Amino acid sequence: MIKYIIRRLLNLIPVLLGVSFIIFVLFNLVSGDPTAVLLGKNATAKQMAELREQLGLNKPLFDQYLDVVKSAFTFDFGRSWATKQEITYMIKQGAYPSMVLTVPAFIIATIFSLIISLVVAFYRGKGIDLFVRILCIAGVSVSALAYILGFQYLFAYKLGWFEISGFEYGFPDFVPYIALPAIIWILLSLGPDVRFFRTIMLDEIYQDYVRTARAKGLSEVVILLKHVLRNALIPIITYVVIQIPSLILGALLLENFFSIPGLGGITLNALNSSDFPVIKAMAILSSVLYIVMSLVTDILYTLADPRVKLK
């Protein structure tokens, strides 16, 4: 397995080279000259030329590409062109609020979804199954924005149960700020998660081994928890772990509406100000997280199913 992990980690090299190339080409071909945006409304042609020189935009394209590659491998992204802040610091500052919001919400949502989907799989075709299915469809049909606006108005403003917006660093100070957005995240996740997990459970429930277990007289609870859930773990792990990078990268809408200073808006802000170093950092970070998480998925497969061997 160690060999496998090393090989997969080495795969990062071509991936990072590819990502660097794509970001570089897209930035140079699509977004054009960033200097007018960076200098503001009174920019002059001379000043724009000077800034282009200073940002290294006059260097040969290959040298510029090498700079991108270098930062991808050293994780030294320098400073934001727009805010002049250290990018590593910006990411650290933003990752904490994003993660304290998304990680607990994600864990709770996943556990709730699994429990609900097991229950509805058990009562498949009965009233409760229908009821949950209708709720799930209703849940995914209403836009996230409607939940956010409605819940913020009702629970934070009218009832005063939570803070309307803002954030404090450190536990438990952040709890009043993240509780409501976390609840909204959980509710928003339940619909698609339960539908997906239910389908997987139902796929398993009609397998031969379940009939065998029943024939041997095992209780339904044991069958569901010990056999069905275990066998359904592979697609569940795939579905769950692959979401982890997006937890770190934040929840744009929730963060914006609850004024949580997370990473959600960082890429969007960077795109709106042609802030190439930040765009580059976020794209590279996403790729690395994605690769690492797919590796974690593979390792978890071996734990969930001993038949899986990593070679």
Partner 1 sequence: MKRLAPLLSLMLMLAIVGCSKQDNFDEREINLVSPEKIAGYDPIHASDQYSGNEAGKVYEGLFEFHPLKRPYELMPNLAEALPTVSADGLTYTFKLRKGVLFHDSPAFKDGIGREMKSDDVIYSLKRLADPKLMAKGWWLFDERIVGLNEWRTKYSALDATVYEEEIEGLKKVDDYTFTVKLKSPYPQFLYALAMPYSFIVAKEAVDHFGKEFLNHPVGTGPFILPRFDQSNLIVYNRNPKFREKFYPTEGEEGDDKLGLLADAGKKIPLVDRINVHIVVESQPKWLSFQKGKDDVIELKDNNIDQAITKEKELRSEHKEKGIRLILKPQLDVTFFAFNHEDKTFQNRKLRQAMNMAYNRAEANRLFYEGTAIDAQGVIPPGMGGYRKEFKNPYVKFDLEGAKKLLAEAGYPGGKGLPEITIQTRNETIARQQIEFFAKCMDKIGIKINVGMNTWPELVNKVTKKQHQMYTMAWGADYPDAENFLGLLYCPNQSPGSNGANYCNPEFDALYKQATVMQDSPERTALYEKLNEMAAVDAPWVFGFNRTRMYLVQAWLKNFKFMEFNHNQFQYLNVDLEVKKELSKKF
Residues that bind partner 1 (CB under 8 A): 31-34, 36-37, 39-45, 47-48, 50-51, 54, 79, 82-86, 93-94, 97, 104, 108, 111, 115, 149, 152-153, 156-157, 160-167, 172, 175-176, 179-180, 256-261, 265, 269, 271-274
Distance in Å, CB of 180 to partner 1, minimum: 7
- Three-state secondary structure call for residue 141: helix
Least distance from partner 1 to the Cβ atom of residue 291, Å = 28
CB of 155 to partner 1, least distance (A): 9
Q: How far is the CB of 310 from partner 1 (least distance, A)?
A: 30
Closer of 99 and 164 to partner 1 (Cβ): 164
Q: Closest CB to partner 1 among 121 and 266?
A: 266
3-state percent helix, strand, coil for the chain, nearest multiple of 5: 75, 0, 25
Residue 42 Cβ vs partner 1, minimum distance, rounded to whole Å: 4
Closer residue to partner 1, CB minimum distance, 169 or 209: 169
**DSSP assignment of 163-224:** -SS---SSTTTTHHHHHHHHHHHHHHHHHHHHHHHHHHHHHHHTSHHHHHHHHTT--HHHII
Is-contact 87 79, C-beta < 8 A? yes
- The CB-of-48 to partner 1 minimum distance in angstroms stands at 6
Closer to partner 1 by Cβ: residue 175 or 218? 175
Q: Which is nearer to partner 1, 190 or 260 (CB)?
A: 260
Nearer Cβ to partner 1, position 17 or 108? Answer: 108
The least CB distance from residue 190 to partner 1, in Å, is 15
Of 65, 35, 29, whose CA–CA distance to 52 is shortest?
A: 35
In whole angstroms, what is the distance from residue 255 CA to residue 262 CA? 6
Contact (CB, 8 A) for 190 and 136 = yes
Beta strands in the chain (DSSP E): none
Task: Round to whole Å and give the CA distance between 233 and 229.
Answer: 6
Distance, in Å, from the CA atom of 225 to the CA atom of 229, rounded to the nearest integer, reads 5
Closest separation in Å from C-beta 265 to partner 1? 8
Going through 7-130 in order, the beta strands assigned E by DSSP cover none
16 or 278: CB nearest partner 1: 278
Q: Phi and psi (nearest 5°) for 265?
A: -90, -5
Nearer to partner 1, 41 or 311 (CB): 41
Give SS3 for 133. helix
- Three-state DSSP at 160 gives coil
**How many other C-beta atoms lie within 10 A of the C-beta of residue 6?**
10
